[in-house]
Amino acid sequence: MTGTDTGVGKTVTAAALAAALIRQGRSVDVIKIAQTGDDDDAAEITRLSGAPARALASYPDPLAPFAAARRSGLPLLKLAEAVDAAFDSPAEVVLLEGAGGLLVQLGQDGWTARDLAVELGCPAVVVARAGLGTLNHTALTLEALARRSVDAAVVLGAWPLNPGIAEYENLIDLPGPRLGWIPDGAAALAPEVFRLAAGEWFDLPEPDPRP
């Protein structure tokens, strides 16, 4: 899971997607690649969705992971460590949440969320804004993924309670296949309400009934 920018709703989207998949009967594990600053995104995901979540690396300064690691003197995460964490999970579905936008450097040698998707051979969920500016940011993000042959779908990370003309027009013009939308303020819902509602926010395929 990546975003068109920072603050677009990746963590709430990760929690909602995890909750929706759990309601389908799937086992889900959520991995935050790198946590920076005082927030605890993994704990928030678990609180909202009930899915186990953890961060692979944590740095005190609220910066991009590469810069935060440099300032703190803590070691940078290796790409192989993130790949191993995904493959070692016993869950049926593993959601990996990046930091900031698609090409933010996450670890040693400057690897990015796009590099991780390529290494794992997995699709990407792009969390985007609903308002002005999102068309360009989303198109650039999808183009960067397509250049590395990574399939992607878009989620609107915070659909406003009172959308304006820009938001409605963006629904028509937003590029890429649409996976869903998250209502603004969803994180303030009680966890049991959040988990019940999450399934309505996504257009997910039904799980394969075959053993």
* Position 205 confidence tier, pLDDT thresholds 50, 70, 90: low
- Answer whether residue 94 is part of any domain: yes
* Position 203 confidence tier, pLDDT thresholds 50, 70, 90: confident
* pLDDT single digits (tens) 125-145: 999 999 999 999 999 999 999
Domain count, the chain: 1
Q: Is the pLDDT of residue 160 over 60?
A: yes
The predicted structure's pLDDT at residue 204: 65
Per the structure, the complete domain to which residue 100 belongs is given by 2-201
The predicted structure's pLDDT at residue 52: 97
> What CATH number corresponds to the domain at position 138?
3.40.50.300
Contact between 124 and 145 under an 8 Å Cβ cutoff? The reply is yes
* pLDDT single digits (tens) 19-78: 999 999 999 999 999 999 998 999 999 999 999 999 999 999 999 999 999 999 999 999
- Which stretch of 57-61, 145-149, 184-188, 202-206 has the lowest confidence by average pLDDT? 202-206
Q: Is the pLDDT of residue 207 over 80?
A: no
- Answer whether residue 206 is part of any domain: no
- Answer whether residue 211 is part of any domain: no
- Answer whether residue 116 is part of any domain: yes
> Catalytic residue at 78?
no
Residue 116 sits at the vertex; the CA angle it makes with 51 and 103, to the nearest 5 degrees, is 105
Alpha carbons within 13 A on the beta-carbon side of 19: 28
- Answer whether residue 57 is part of any domain: yes
The predicted structure's pLDDT at residue 16: 98
- Answer whether residue 208 is part of any domain: no
* Position 209 confidence tier, pLDDT thresholds 50, 70, 90: very low
The predicted structure's pLDDT at residue 130: 95
How is 92-140 classified by DSSP, letter by letter? SEEEEE-SSBTT---SGGG--HHHHHHHHT--EEEEE-SSTTHHHHHHH
The predicted structure's pLDDT at residue 111: 97
* pLDDT single digits (tens) 81-135: 999 999 999 999 999 999 989 999 999 999 999 999 999 999 999 999 999 999 9
Which residues face 178 on adjacent strands? 154
H helices of the chain, in order, are 10-23, 41-49, 65-72, 79-88, 113-120, 134-146, 165-173, 191-198
Name the residue with tokens 């690396």.
57
The catalytic residue among 10, 28, 29, 32 is 32
